[in-house]
């Protein structure tokens, strides 16, 4: 109790709260810019915290972290461009909802889902950090590979109009992930002597090119509408924060399930918000009574995605606090920050610095409250984006995409890649390919390959994938997932009386 | 090609042919890359080499592409192939602005290392706005201000606040 009070006393000082508020704003704004990730925002914040007390510094970084997971929602909902990889699934329903004249509802749903997702993950973190951390590190490459196989079955939910083109897109994503140095032996692959391909295709540049450039280009397809000065969203913008809060709370099963998915995926080293939002979305769709309404502005889709990605913030801290293993790049930076202050992170952290750990728990809850406060107060300002005419927003956001792509590695060649992938993304979109499976393939490809090869290096016997219990559970889940997808596909064909593989023209 | 033309049926058929071409292209690329992956030397330290995972992926792509080609051939009526070129030109004409935007983006990306981020961005934003906007004195003024803020202003913000230095150019 003394440790808890000591941690609380350090958080609830005026200076810490002001710094945290600034961190929340910085996180939200940074993540709203396509290409500017939560990781980058945290890296930029790190030097500013060196002069602070350890807990104060960590609290500020947690504020940026929590704010960042919400910020990605803004461009996802209003522009159809995921601000961060963790808001890819948010574009599926928040964007159509915003386009049909409900951008305020889309943003509010996302903000409240993020808030509750973070709070639920903090509660899980407090209660279950040590046992969950012990479970997470017991997983070997067999379990990770089987988990990724299960995650790849999500493609079935994201295929769009055509199963065949959806599968092709997912496989193309996996193929993109194989370009560059191989993850185990460091052997060059598919670089064709081109220098910029030698280090592989940066995931973020692929994400921006595929989603942002193709979406912005699509905005100008209707020349008449652009030249008449039409904004992104027409009609009055409704904004009812409290009503939407009730709407989110009236979906307790979806909210809790998505948050738990976020916590569990966040707790696995190597996974994170980019996978959690897609898995949570997939689970919401599979458990919905009306799965066909997903992708057309279903509030459940927005809630699932945002609760799922925000809950990874708490989930990621589980192995960090329990075992000293960072679950993601952001957690590694948080760990580095603690080490800068002379605090060694590991299983003894909770024993040696209990006040710090309790302070982190409190900081998570306070950060989510600050995120909510900043989001609710600034929502009207962000919603003005929807009123900006297309002729202004298209060139400006394209420049933001260029900045985001360049700032990642400070490489001009990444810009050429952005242009190429942008054109490819628009072409695929025009041909009726669903782009979400492609991004899923790019995310999951390296994890799948690394764990498959690592597993077979450890033991050449492939039957271990089926004999290790947790691995087997994931594989059974993958089979059930595919069976469910086939069943629902056949059901849909039967009810609609036509093939879902109809041309998209 | 997800747009309804003057004749929806013909546009749909042209879209299906365009998709068929994409499947063929993907099939050829996947076969080529599969061969390239097979040439990657294996390692004696591991059962699978650097080429194994790509081979699985490209084989999967080739298989799905073949299924897609068969499916597409089944759907396309014989007469549609003759109308394809005409329909494609009509589709491209309706999307003239898209090609202008993509062309401007290409020129902008190539100009950044030469002109630097600020000047290239200013020219890109302003020229694209001039192409896209309804021209009035007010929109012209807004266009110039927005171009200046999001080129020189953004450069200043990143350099001074984030200490991220955007390309300066050589000219």
What's chain A's Rg over C-alpha atoms? Answer: 22
- Residues A252 and A264: their CA atoms lie apart, in Å, by 18
Mean pLDDT across A255-279: 84
Report whether A235 contacts A97 (CB < 8 A).
no
- Residues A80 and A92: their CA atoms lie apart, in Å, by 8
- Residues B42 and B49: their CA atoms lie apart, in Å, by 5
* Mean pLDDT value across chain A: 84
C-beta atoms of A412 and B146 within 8 A: no
Residue of B nearest to A170 (CA): B61
Q: Which of B2, B19, B164 has its CB closest to that of A407?
A: B164
Per DSSP, the three-state class of A269 is: coil
Tell me which of B44 and A394 has the higher pLDDT: A394
**pLDDT confidence bin for B5, thresholds 50/70/90:** very low
In the numeric block, the tokens 């005026």 are attached to A14
Q: Nearest-CA neighbor of A442 among A251, A176, A86, A141?
A: A176
Q: Which of A220, A395, A452 has its CB closest to that of B124?
A: A395
**What pLDDT score was predicted for residue A237?**
66
Contacts of A175 in chain B (CB under 8 A): 30, 33, 54, 57-58, 61
**What pLDDT score was predicted for residue A270?**
63
SS (H, E, C) B19-67: HHHHHHHHHHHHHHHHHHHHCCCCCCCCCCCCCHHHHHHHHHHHHHHHH
Residue of A nearest to B4 (CA): A505
Contacts of B16 in chain A (CB under 8 A): 503, 505
Residue of B nearest to A185 (CA): B50
Query: Exposed, middle or buried: residue A251 (CB in 10 Å: 0-12, 13-18, 19+)?
Result: buried
pLDDT of A498 > 60? The answer is no
Mean pLDDT across A387-394: 87
Mean pLDDT across B122-148: 94
Report whether A125 contacts A317 (CB < 8 A).
yes
> b vs e for B74-100, b when ≥16 Cβ sit within 10 Å of the residue's Cβ?
ebbeeebeebbeebeebbeebbebbeb
pLDDT of A243 > 70? The answer is yes
- Residues A260 and A254: their CA atoms lie apart, in Å, by 10
C-beta atoms of B40 and A189 within 8 A: yes
**What pLDDT score was predicted for residue A319?**
78
**What pLDDT score was predicted for residue A499?**
42
Min distance B49 CA to chain A CA atoms (Å): 8
Q: Which of A216, A223, A399 has its CB closest to that of B121?
A: A399
- Residues of A (170-189) whose Cβ lies below 8 Å from B: 171-172, 174-175, 178, 182, 184-185, 187, 189
**What pLDDT score was predicted for residue A502?**
37
**What pLDDT score was predicted for residue B124?**
97
- Residues A344 and A351: their CA atoms lie apart, in Å, by 12
> b vs e for A432-466, b when ≥16 Cβ sit within 10 Å of the residue's Cβ?
bbbbbbbbbbbbbbbbbbbbbbbbbeeeeeeebbe
pLDDT of A493 > 60? The answer is yes
C-beta atoms of A187 and B41 within 8 A: yes
Counting every residue, how long is chain B? 171
Tens-place pLDDT, residues A356-371: 888 888 999 999 999 9
pLDDT of A178 > 60? The answer is yes
**What pLDDT score was predicted for residue B6?**
57
**What pLDDT score was predicted for residue A49?**
82
**What pLDDT score was predicted for residue A496?**
63
- Residues A47 and A235: their CA atoms lie apart, in Å, by 45
- Residues A145 and A445: their CA atoms lie apart, in Å, by 10
Q: Is residue A140 less than 8 Å (CB to CB) from chain B? A: no
pLDDT of A497 > 60? The answer is no
C-alpha dist (Å) from residue A339 to A125, A259, A361: 21, 29, 18
C-beta atoms of B132 and A226 within 8 A: yes
Mean pLDDT across A445-465: 90
Mean pLDDT across B105-118: 95
**What pLDDT score was predicted for residue A35?**
63
Cα first-last separation, chain A: 64
Tell me which of A45 and A172 has the higher pLDDT: A172
**What pLDDT score was predicted for residue A503?**
36
pTM: 0.81
pLDDT of A425 > 50? The answer is yes
Q: Which of A174, A418, A423 has its CB closest to that of B57?
A: A174
Mean pLDDT across A53-74: 87
**What pLDDT score was predicted for residue B66?**
97
- Residues A310 and A110: their CA atoms lie apart, in Å, by 10
Mean pLDDT across A26-50: 78
Percent of chain A with pLDDT over 70: 92
- Residues A403 and A410: their CA atoms lie apart, in Å, by 10
Q: Which of B2, B52, B101 has its CB closest to that of A220?
A: B101
Q: Which residues, 6 or more positions from A374, have their beta carbon under 8 angstroms from its beta carbon?
A: A21, A24, A25, A28, A67
Query: A48, A395, A397, A446: which to substitute to probe chain B, counting the most B Cβ within 10 Å?
Result: A395
User: What are the respective helix, strand and coil percentages of chain B, to the nearest 5?
Assistant: 75, 0, 25
Tens-place pLDDT, residues A91-117: 999 999 988 888 889 989 999 999 999
Helices A299-323 and A354-383, packing angle to 10 deg: 160
pLDDT of B4 > 60? The answer is no
Percent of chain B with pLDDT over 70: 96
C-beta atoms of B45 and A426 within 8 A: no
Size of interface A-B (CB pairs under 8 A): 196
Which segment of A259-263, A338-342, B26-30 scores lowest on mean pLDDT? A338-342
**What pLDDT score was predicted for residue A231?**
78
Q: Nearest-CA neighbor of A414 among A207, A146, A217?
A: A207
Q: Nearest-CA neighbor of A7 among A267, A432, A309, A356?
A: A356
Tell me which of B5 and A17 has the higher pLDDT: A17
C-beta atoms of B105 and A398 within 8 A: yes
Residue of A nearest to B16 (CA): A503
**pLDDT confidence bin for A383, thresholds 50/70/90:** confident
């Amino acid at each position: 109790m003394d440790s808890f009070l000591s941690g609380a006393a350090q958080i609830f000082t005026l200076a810490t709260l002001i710094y945290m508020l600034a961190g929340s704003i910085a996180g939200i704004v940074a993540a709203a810019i396509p290409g500017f990730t939560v990781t980058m925002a945290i890296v930029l914040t790190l030097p500013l915290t060196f002069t602070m007390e350890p807990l104060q510094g960590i609290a500020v970084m947690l504020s940026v972290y929590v704010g960042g997971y919400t910020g990605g929602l803004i461009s996802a909902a209003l522009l159809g461009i995921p601000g961060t990889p963790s808001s890819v699934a948010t574009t599926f329903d928040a964007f159509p909802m915003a386009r049909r004249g409900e951008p305020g509802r889309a943003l509010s749903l996302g903000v409240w889902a993020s808030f509750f997702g973070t709070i639920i993950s903090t509660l899980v973190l407090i209660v279950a950090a040590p046992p969950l951390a012990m479970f997470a590190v017991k997983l070997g490459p067999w379990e990770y590979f089987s988990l990724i196989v299960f995650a790849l079955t999500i493609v079935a939910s994201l295929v769009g109009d055509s199963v065949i083109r959806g599968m092709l897109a997912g496989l193309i994503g996996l193929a993109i992930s194989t370009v560059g140095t191989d993850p185990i032996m460091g052997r060059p692959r598919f670089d064709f002597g081109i220098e910029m391909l030698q280090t592989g295709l940066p995931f973020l540049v692929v994400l921006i090119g595929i989603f942002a450039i193709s979406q912005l280009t699509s905005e100008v397809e209707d020349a008449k509408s652009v030249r008449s000065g039409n904004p992104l969203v027409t009609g009055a913008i409704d904004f009812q924060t409290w009503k939407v809060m009730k709407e989110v709370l009236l979906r307790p099963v979806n909210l809790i399930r998505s948050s738990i998915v976020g916590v569990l995926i966040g707790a696995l080293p190597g996974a994170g918000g980019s996978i959690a939002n897609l898995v949570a979305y997939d689970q919401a769709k599979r458990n919905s009574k009306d799965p066909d309404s997903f992708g057309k502005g279903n509030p459940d889709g927005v809630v699932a995605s945002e609760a799922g990605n925000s809950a990874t913030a708490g989930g990621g801290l589980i192995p960090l606090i329990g075992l000293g293993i960072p679950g993601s790049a952001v957690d590694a930076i948080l760990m580095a920050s603690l080490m800068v202050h002379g605090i060694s992170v590991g299983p003894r952290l909770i024993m040696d610095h209990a006040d710090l750990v309790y302070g982190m728990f409190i900081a998570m809850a306070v950060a989510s409250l600050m995120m909510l406060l900043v989001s609710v107060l600034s929502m009207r300002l962000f919603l003005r984006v929807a009123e900006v005419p297309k002729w202004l927003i298209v060139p400006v956001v394209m420049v933001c995409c260029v900045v985001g792509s360049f700032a990642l590695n400070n490489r001009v060649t990444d810009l050429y890649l952005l242009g190429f992938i942008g054109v490819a993304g628009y072409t695929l979109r025009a041909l009726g390919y669903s782009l979400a499976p492609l991004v899923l393939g790019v995310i999951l490809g390296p994890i799948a390959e690394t764990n498959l090869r690592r597993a077979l290096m450890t033991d050449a016997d492939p039957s271990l994938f089926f004999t290790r219990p947790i691995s087997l559970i994931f594989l059974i889940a993958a089979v059930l997932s595919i069976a469910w997808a086939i069943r629902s596909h056949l059901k849909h064909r039967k009810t609609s009386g036509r093939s879902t593989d109809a041309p998209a023209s | 090609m997800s747009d309804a033309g003057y004749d929806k049926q013909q546009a749909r058929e042209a879209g299906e042919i365009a998709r068929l071409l994409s499947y063929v292209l993907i099939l050829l690329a996947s076969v080529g890359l599969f061969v390239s992956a097979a040439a990657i030397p294996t390692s004696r330290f591991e059962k699978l080499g650097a080429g194994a995972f790509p081979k699985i992926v490209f084989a999967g792509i080739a298989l799905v592409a073949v299924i897609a080609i068969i499916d597409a051939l089944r759907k396309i009526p014989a007469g549609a192939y003759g109308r394809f070129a005409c329909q494609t030109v009509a589709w491209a004409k309706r999307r003239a602005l898209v090609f202008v935007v993509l062309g401007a983006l290409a020129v902008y990306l190539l100009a950044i290392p030469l002109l630097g981020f600020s000047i290239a961005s200013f020219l890109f934003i302003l020229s694209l706005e001039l192409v896209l906007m309804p021209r009035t004195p007010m929109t012209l003024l807004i266009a110039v201000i927005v171009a200046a803020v999001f080129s020189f202003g953004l450069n200043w913000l990143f350099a001074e606040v984030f200490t991220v230095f955007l390309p300066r150019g050589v000219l």
